[in-house]
Amino acid sequence: MSAPRKGCGDPDFRINIIVACDLNRGIGKNGTLPWKLPSETNYYHGMINHLKSSENQNAVIFGRITYESIHDPKDYENLLKVVVSKTSRPQPEDKNLRFVESFLDATGLIWDEKSLRNGGIETIWSLGGTTVYQETLQSPFLHRVYYTEVQSKFDCDTHFPAMDLTKFKIVEDSRVPSGIQSDNGVQYKVTVYESNNFA
């Protein structure tokens, strides 16, 4: 498994984070979302599954707990799923499922897949939890953070790491809902932060 290095190989090797947080950066409670926002969930699945070419595939990286919290596997069936776990490595029946021991191994596996497919991996998404998000924020391949801020405070036991906003600029993406959205009486807003490394 080759580990990608910034500045060599594929210049389009970029990783995006997509996350929904409350006002305290809370992202979950007992392995589940503490809010029900169907429109935000639909936006999330639309983003991670969006392809420019049906012949390609997107890849997602997440930790074991986040992976095990998936409610409907069909929402992820067309994605290359890379699970970072040092404790649980079952033999996957899903041909699109891989288990690795570290975030570096995850990026290396996707790098190799992208090379073997001649660029057939379009977008790489980091889906959490906290540790995977933290390592993605520190990665030289971090491109964008699609940040949903839920305009309320919830009881959470898992949080998104603090971002140094001086390292990012706000950009537009036509696929992202614009302005304040409302669902089930809860408001939220999506902001897209792009790393200054890709200026």
Whether the upstream peptide bond of residue 129 has omega within 30° of 0, thus cis, is yes
Residue 91 lies in a domain: yes
Residue 85 lies in a domain: yes
Nearest to 161 by CA among 128, 112, 197: 128
Domain that holds residue 19: 15-198
Residue 177 lies in a domain: yes
Residue 4 lies in a domain: no
How many separate domains does the chain show? Answer: 1
Mean pLDDT within 99-122: 93
pTM: 0.93
Residue type, 136: T
140: Cα separation from own chain's centroid: 15
CATH number where 116 lies? 3.40.430.10
Residue 5 lies in a domain: no
Pairing of strands 26-28, 142-150: unpaired
Residue 3 lies in a domain: no
Residue 20 lies in a domain: yes
SS3 category, 55? coil
Question: pLDDT-based confidence at 118, cuts 50/70/90?
Answer: confident
Residue 134 lies in a domain: yes
Tokens representing 198 are 């890709």
Q: Determine the Cα–Cα distance for residues 94 and 80; give it in Å rounded to an integer.
A: 10
SS3 category, 156? coil
Q: 171: Cβ–Cβ under 8 A, 6 or more apart, which residues?
A: 144, 192, 193, 194
Pairing of strands 186-195, 181-183: antiparallel
Q: Which of 15-24, 46-55, 93-102, 122-131 has the lowest mean pLDDT?
A: 93-102
